[in-house]
Amino acid sequence: MTTAAAPVDTAAGDVAIRLEHLTKTYPGATRPAVDGLELAIPRGELVALVGPSGCGKTTTLKMINRLVEPTGGTVWVEGVDIRTRPTHELRRGIGYVIQQAGLFPHRTVGDNIATVPKLLGWDGHRVSARVDELADLLRLDRGLLGRYPSALSGGQQQRVGVARALAADPPVLLMDEPYSAVDPIVRAQLQDELLRLQREVHKTIVFVTHDIDEAIKLANRIAILNVGGILEQVDSPAAMLRAPRNDFVADFLGDDRGIKRLSLMTVGEASLSKGPVVDESASVDEARATMAELGYDWVAVCDGDDSLQGWVGAADLDGAATIAELTPRPFLSVVTPDTTLKAALDGVVTSRTRVAVAVDDDGRYLGMLTVNDLAEGITT
């Protein structure tokens, strides 16, 4: 057992947290909750620990801030063996967010956020400046700072919980199923906010969840744990969805792995078809020729600036000489380069034309996505 605060081998790159043969056997248990776990968490990444109940993911998380004491192995945080530091000091340097937010009901929102800075003995001005800064960062109305947590919605409480965890600007953030107690709409908002926040603060985040979709959405890297704290696979979400290492991982990812991969890719990354498209100045004969060439019974219409006007069907053309005489119908599903391929797929299967039409932010036509184009995205 090493007790010296020697720096961990840095040759392995920029590792913020290293779990070395980490083991926890609870008193009276016959099997370990976590068994010899080896995991390196790179600095600035969000790593999701995912697995079924009893896989030891929360136990693992709590061993990083010593809420649970390991029975074997070592946790290195920023190159320091955590056992060499007094527990309360270690914890003040690690942000911690839990499921029910766990706000102090007897303290105002502002005082809740100020918890760790006050424990660290910051002076009053610095504390209140920091609280204001965090309220802005988390987009919490400063008017809420004087309220008690019971006056807040679940989503607001969870934002305050994150603000409180970030208050002393710790390099590492531990999040234990932070969004599992809020409704799906708020959960999606909080997830989007976490992604935005992470782009600004670049923390090393260990995120425990049982929701694989949440992990795919948020994580740079997913660690899938099996019952007994067995690490089955660590990989980026895309790599894991493309190549699950074994049946357990594949089962856990679900039978819609392809669709899930679509949620990781955007329209901008896909190759678009040109599709049947004509300028509004085109003649009806030209439009018919375009339809026939590509095998469609409709054609998209753009104006002189390439701006998408809509579409006209083959039957609409009868009796007209040029497209300009007709009123194009709007496309039901128009996507932009930022749209996920999963959302684009939804557009494809629900629209009458069976395509999702892509335009840029100024409404200029970029191309179309068909089911074939989307399948291409998954298989390559």
Partner 1 sequence: MSDLGGVLAAEPFIRWDWVRDHTDDIRSNFWEHVQLTVLAVGIGFVIALAMALVAVRWRAAYGPLAAFCAALYAVPSVALFALLLPFVGLSMENALIALVTYTLLILLRNIVAGLDGVPPEVREAADGMGYERWRRVLRVDLPLATPSIVAGLRIATVTTIGLVTVTALVGEGGFGRFINEGLSRQFPTEIVLGSVLSVALAIACDVLFVLAERLLVPWARAKVPIEVGKPGRLTFARWSRHGRTVDA
- Provide the binding-site residues for partner 1, judged by CB under 8 A: 65, 67, 87-92, 96, 98-107, 115-116, 119, 148-151, 161, 164, 174
CA 106 to chain centre: 33
> Please, are residues 318 and 311 in contact by the beta-carbon 8 Å criterion?
no
CB of 93 to partner 1, least distance (A): 8
**Integer CA distances (angstroms), 150 to 98, 144, 147, 318, 323, in order:** 17, 11, 8, 66, 62
CB of 104 to partner 1, least distance (A): 6
Q: Residue 116 or residue 270: which is nearer to partner 1 going by CB? A: 116
Longest dimension (CA), the chain: 88
CB of 43 to partner 1, least distance (A): 21
CB of 333 to partner 1, least distance (A): 43
Residues 212-245 as b or e (16 or more Cβ within 10 Å = b): bebbbbbbebbbbbbeebbbbbbbebeebbbebe
Cβ-proximal residues to 97 (8 Å cutoff; 6+ apart), any chain = 158, 161, 162, 165, 173, 174, 175, 176, 178
Q: Residue 37 or residue 101: which is nearer to partner 1 going by CB? A: 101
CA dist 268 and 324 (Å) reads 30
Q: Residue 160 or residue 369: which is nearer to partner 1 going by CB? A: 160
CA dist 236 and 218 (Å) reads 11
Q: Residue 114 or residue 194: which is nearer to partner 1 going by CB? A: 114
3-state helix, strand, coil in the chain (%, to 5): 40, 25, 35
CB of 99 to partner 1, least distance (A): 7
Q: Residue 87 or residue 350: which is nearer to partner 1 going by CB? A: 87
CA dist 153 and 187 (Å) reads 12
CA dist 16 and 26 (Å) reads 27
Cβ-proximal residues to 89 (8 Å cutoff; 6+ apart), any chain = none
Cβ-proximal residues to 340 (8 Å cutoff; 6+ apart), any chain = 262, 263, 264, 265, 266, 267
Q: Residue 158 or residue 333: which is nearer to partner 1 going by CB? A: 158
CB of 170 to partner 1, least distance (A): 10
CB of 151 to partner 1, least distance (A): 7
Tokens 């494809």 correspond to what residue?
348
Query: Which of 124, 123, 119 has its CA nearest to residue 104?
Result: 119
CB of 150 to partner 1, least distance (A): 6
Q: Angle 47-53-59 (CA atoms, 0-180°, nearest 5)?
A: 55
CB of 160 to partner 1, least distance (A): 11
Q: Residue 179 or residue 365: which is nearer to partner 1 going by CB? A: 179
Q: Residue 148 or residue 248: which is nearer to partner 1 going by CB? A: 148
Q: Angle 346-351-356 (CA atoms, 0-180°, nearest 5)?
A: 65
Q: Residue 170 or residue 244: which is nearer to partner 1 going by CB? A: 170
